Structure 1
């Protein structure tokens, strides 16, 4: 599929929120990528029947909205449950028998920040390995410019988000114009790691950070393709199943 002007749409990778201002967000679909663990948890909660997810930047806002809507308040700071919130950022906290039909208000260290930064995009969706196929199929079907936006770690490039961006580039590049060195680098990294992504990730800083909290089960889940294969789309400030 092509853009309305007949040109092939572009596919770019933004490796950090600190670089987002260099990209044409207003004319692109932006995929928010925060593999460990925000976007993995978002698709898992929606896959398990959450009514919607409201992403917010601050813990205070999370608490206030949760109170107003009688919603579940959740989130983390630096990999741990944020003080004042009832739940954390593990996908295993949101099984169907708990989350179905409920509203989740979520704040995270990196992912929700990037989501709000990209607010002027044509469309915002969230991506992670658990919904890899849904993301790829949607992007190909839309035929619009795409920015794969990595949430990174406090603006520093990270391994897991870059690997996911590379996986997307690897799957769909034939449908796009990929004139972007960071996209090529991400795909190269993914091709190096793809036979054992979990093993490859052991050297990554956030793997080590989360491992200190005993969260290797979370990490393995978040690196497993298509275990929660739905498409979270941002509509009116809320993430719903597309």
Structure 2
């Protein structure tokens, strides 16, 4: 094993509003939007979607979907966005619906951060349903890593920090870590790890989604390795790596 100071760095960015403080150009960036964009992305790809195209606006989503004959989907503030047929629930994308198709997706927080990190060495997306694929990839690459939390309208949120902490806990021995956000996220994860769902009941986004009866979505999005594929961003499209 190499010496500590020769290892790549591992950092956590808890909000898109802080991303400018990190060396994105020399890092692999993991986009984290647990509830629910990155959980839905890995689920769609796991179930055979050809690709997922993340876009910033509903208008762009509709236009690209029309051009490609693709599924258009997305949400704003936890609800299906006006003008779109499908939302951001992973349960909307079973294999018999999504296999071989292109999904164009716009979300409140996750797609914004994807575009902000465009200069990274590589962008991948992560959530609990594909945590093992994410961790294996990051260790194998041997590059600096930024775990980028999509947060909620730039405000730090519980679920993305928990996932970042779970990744830190799994892979920290392979990296140099001089990042208080990473330490804080890992500490939070260890406090919650015995029952993530119960712990998340305190969180604002849990309560927001629960008002729409989406507890099943929340539980799925907090469960490890239910859709263990690696979404890689290539030419603006997420494909299964």
Same fold (TM over 0.5): yes
Q: Quote the residue 2:73 is aligned against.
A: 74
Alignment TM-score, normalising by the size of structure 2: 0.98
The aligned length equals 240
The aligned runs of 1:7-22 (5 Å cut-off) are 7-22=6-21
Structure 1: tracts of 5 or more residues without a match: none
Task: Work out the CA distance in 1 between the residues paired with 2:187 and 2:181.
Answer: 10
Matched residue SS, 1:149:
strand
Task: Work out the CA distance in 1 between the residues paired with 2:104 and 2:130.
Answer: 20
Task: Work out the CA distance in 2 between the residues paired with 1:77 and 1:241.
Answer: 25
Matched residue SS, 1:195:
coil
| Cα distance, 1:86 vs structure 2 | 1.1
The aligned runs of 1:80-99 (5 Å cut-off) are 80-99=79-98
User: 1:123-163 CA distances to partner (integer Å, 9 max, x unpaired)?
Assistant: 00000000000000000000000000000000000000000
CA RMSD of aligned residues (A): 1.1
| Cα distance, 1:7 vs structure 2 | 1.9
Alignment TM-score, normalising by the size of structure 1: 0.98
Task: Work out the CA distance in 2 between the residues paired with 1:107 and 1:151.
Answer: 13
Q: Quote the residue 1:123 is aligned against.
A: 122
Q: Quote the residue 1:169 is aligned against.
A: 168
Q: Quote the residue 2:30 is aligned against.
A: 31
Structure 2: tracts of 5 or more residues without a match: none
Where do 4+ consecutive residues of structure 1 move more than 3 Å? none
Matched residue SS, 1:183:
helix
Q: Quote the residue 2:179 is aligned against.
A: 180
Q: Quote the residue 1:214 is aligned against.
A: 213
